Structure 1
Amino acid sequence: MASNASNPPPEVSPSTVPMSVSTSSAPTMAASINLIQPDGPLTFQFTNVQDLFDVINRTSGDFLAVTNVYPHHFIQVRHEREKRRRKIRFRRYDSSSGILTIKLPTALHEALHMGIYMRYCAQLVRKEMSESWKDIGSTTFRDVQGYPGGEGDSTGDPWPECTAPSSWPTLVVDSGHSELLDDLRKDMRWWFEASNHEVKIVLLAKFDHQQDHVILEKWEEEITAPPGPITRNRASVQQQNSILQLVKRQTITITRDETTNPVSYNVNGALVLGFRLLFLRDPGPGEGDFILDIEALQRYANVVWAQLPISD
């Protein structure tokens, strides 16, 4: 959309422009956004709904942080998304800070999370368990106070163990390539806390443009108890005082090797999804953990790298 001379476009936060770019020489909002590097998050100060969607339409990355968004603004933005049928996701909206983080479903972003989730679902089919799993997709979830709320990338939970519409997923897969890994980890913490620990596994899939690799992190929670010798009375106290602590169970790094013909991918381990955490019950006969082996992750990587622009 061309900018109107009588209505100058909104400014992009200078902190989001690479150091090699002079913000004073950027003639328009569109030019500035086109110069944003793919591995740097973009920040925009909310002015009105039209300007926000103009920025969204010009953003090539998958992450946009919008500041100064009051609750009535958020309602307007949400209605406009429905009106335009835009498949953007509201990763998080926090009314107290006025920050709305938006995920834009680029081809790379979708390949990062769907490639993992769909391979898990394929195993459900092979094990004849597809009827025991409910895909939730990017449904909006909110904490007990309504805000902050959030939408995941790929989510699901067991059926019929979780039949209520308000049930939180047991599995969340979130991805990013413009969003920083630390920000993805903040999202991960939100899922566990806002769900009151109904979420059991959060998988993060991050493409690092600078390092040219994919990082997969699997996060869970475990019960910890105060240290000290265990007695019968102390065991009862420990059970009351035990707390849930975040644990990074796995970190898998995938790199591309262009010295081979054809190109190959190095994967340092298989991804294991625990049955009990996914289905909230013990495995029955013939049931067990779900494993995405190295070969499956190599095929996943081949699809992910295919979504990169030629220059990458």
Structure 2
Amino acid sequence: MPRLAEGAASLRGLAVYLFPFPAFATLPRLPWHSPTVISTMAAVFGDMSDHISYKYNFRASGSQPSTPSTASSPIDSTYSSGQSTMSASTPSVAVDDEGDTSSSVSGAASIFEELSSLISEDDKYTFSTAVKLANYIKKRVEACLASSTGCYLLVTGVPDNKEAQIDSLLARRQIRNQVRIMHEPTIKSLIIKLMPGVPHELTTYALEARITSKVVALPGHTIFSLLGIKAARFYGSGGGSKEGDSGFRPATRASDDFPSFMIEVGYSETMEKLRKDAKWWLTASTHGPVTKMVIIIKINRDPPALELEVWVMGPNTATMLMRSRPPTVPACVQSFDIDAAGTVTPTPAANGLRIPYLTLFDVPHPHAADIIISLDELSELALVIFQNGL
């Protein structure tokens, strides 16, 4: 409990530091669990049910927003809207073109299996009962924080219709908010990502706060223009499901639509695992509004450092050679390495992290402008995480 209270205090302090709205001014003087703190957080970051709503299930076939998007594709919006130092000629950092990444059943299973192959034998578990699985996960959550590996678990042999029971058992053990579940029913398996406390929460919160403050600064926008997404479960068109760390959807989207923007954070995982997470979000939402951008962040503890990558759907350069391949595949268009001193190294060279307006939103606005998080702001964000979360 002392560690939890310390973490909550850090989050309150960060709210005032990064997001100095008058409503936050009293937060440091109130208990972290007070109704005022909870209601203020809800007002700033959208419906708090989204932030704890592991019980909500959203499907890729959700209804369309009332006004259609004018962006022809995520990669188009990455280079076409607002002011930016990037141009259409800027090369992407990396393109993931391994096989067909379309959202068919086989494609969804393929992404799951790619991630499964990165999980060590020590982190694989064969399902017997939901109670035993919940007890095992609780032990692993406790061990993960002190470990340099093992924050992804593969569970095989999971019977159908066990998700609700597993959710309930994890909630009873007070660890449900520290777990994110990816389910692939075609092979009766789960991948469970463990999120042990402060490092994950502080990192996602810091980036959310920075983005939200910049959106609110745009004329005609409010704290409700973007709605926060936390542990909600989303179902891809192939039947598989996934819960993300954090994200946003514009207010124009229906409550069961996929988020437009997601954040995935790893405390000790390899970047390759996080890249598979990004790939799922970008390829699973084929019916209705799609996820247009995923930012993945790896936190290194010793020495303190952040690795950050920006992923979107980009042209598949192999399409001309293999017509069976999809026209677009997940691509990394920006990356940033931030060391313990807060020095930021961007690849390719840039003045900051760019999020095009029509990546976050689906509908043009007279006062639309891209969200630019400068290198100084990225440095500031990293140092706050190093000083309060590690």
Asked if these proteins are the same fold (TM beyond 0.5), I'd say: yes
* Residue in structure 2 matched with residue 63 of structure 1 by the alignment: 151
Q: Which runs of 5+ in 2 are unaligned?
A: 1-118, 347-351
1:136 deviation in Å? 2.1
Checking the alignment, whether the CA contact within 8 Å between 1:254 and 1:268 is kept in structure 2 is yes
* Residue in structure 2 matched with residue 21 of structure 1 by the alignment: none
Partners in 2 of 1:307 and 1:44 — Cα distance? 32
Task: Return the letter of the residue paired with 2:236.
Answer: D
Secondary structure at 2:269's aligned position in 1? coil
Q: Which has the higher mean CA deviation after the structures are superposed, 185-194 or 64-73?
A: 64-73
Partners in 1 of 2:192 and 2:370 — Cα distance? 34
| Compared CA separation, residues 242 and 192, structure 1 to 2 (3 A) | closer
Partners in 1 of 2:143 and 2:179 — Cα distance? 14
* Residue in structure 1 matched with residue 112 of structure 2 by the alignment: none
Secondary structure at 1:256's aligned position in 2? coil
Matched, 1:132 2:225: yes
Partners in 2 of 1:187 and 1:83 — Cα distance? 27
Alignment of 1:165-180 (within 5 A): 165-180=255-270
* Residue in structure 2 matched with residue 77 of structure 1 by the alignment: 166
RMSD: 2.9
Secondary structure at 2:224's aligned position in 1? helix
Q: Which has the higher mean CA deviation after the structures are superposed, 268-277 or 208-217?
A: 208-217
Partners in 1 of 2:259 and 2:161 — Cα distance? 28
* Residue in structure 2 matched with residue 244 of structure 1 by the alignment: 328
Matched, 1:94 2:175: no
* Residue in structure 1 matched with residue 42 of structure 2 by the alignment: none
With a CA cutoff of 8 Å and minimum separation of 6, indicate the structure with the bigger relative contact order.
2
Task: Return the letter of the residue paired with 1:136.
Answer: I
Checking the alignment, whether the CA contact within 8 Å between 1:91 and 1:102 is kept in structure 2 is yes
Task: Return the letter of the residue paired with 2:353.
Answer: L
1:60 deviation in Å? 3.3
| Compared CA separation, residues 203 and 77, structure 1 to 2 (3 A) | same
Alignment of 1:162-241 (within 5 A): 162=253, 164-196=254-286, 198-209=290-301, 212-223=304-315
Checking the alignment, whether the CA contact within 8 Å between 1:90 and 1:101 is kept in structure 2 is yes
Task: Return the letter of the residue paired with 1:52.
Answer: Y
State the TM-score, normalizing by the size of structure 1.
0.70
Higher helix share: 2
Checking the alignment, whether the CA contact within 8 Å between 1:275 and 1:283 is kept in structure 2 is no
1:273 deviation in Å? 0.5
Q: 2:250 aligns with which of 150, 155, 158?
A: 158
Secondary structure at 2:204's aligned position in 1? helix
Q: CA deviation digits over 1:35-79, x for unaligned, max 9? A: xxxxx9761524442432442453233824042251355443122
Task: Return the letter of the residue paired with 1:303.
Answer: V
Secondary structure at 1:144's aligned position in 2? coil
Checking the alignment, whether the CA contact within 8 Å between 1:222 and 1:244 is kept in structure 2 is yes
Partners in 2 of 1:73 and 1:55 — Cα distance? 20
1:156 deviation in Å? 1.0
* Residue in structure 2 matched with residue 110 of structure 1 by the alignment: 201
Q: CA deviation digits over 1:166-188, x for unaligned, max 9? A: 20011001100122211111111
Checking the alignment, whether the CA contact within 8 Å between 2:180 and 2:245 is kept in structure 1 is no
Bigger Rg, which one: 1
Checking the alignment, whether the CA contact within 8 Å between 1:138 and 1:155 is kept in structure 2 is no
State the percentage of identical aligned residues: 19
Higher strand share: 1
Secondary structure at 1:155's aligned position in 2? strand
Q: Which runs of 5+ in 1 are unaligned?
A: 1-39, 229-237, 258-264
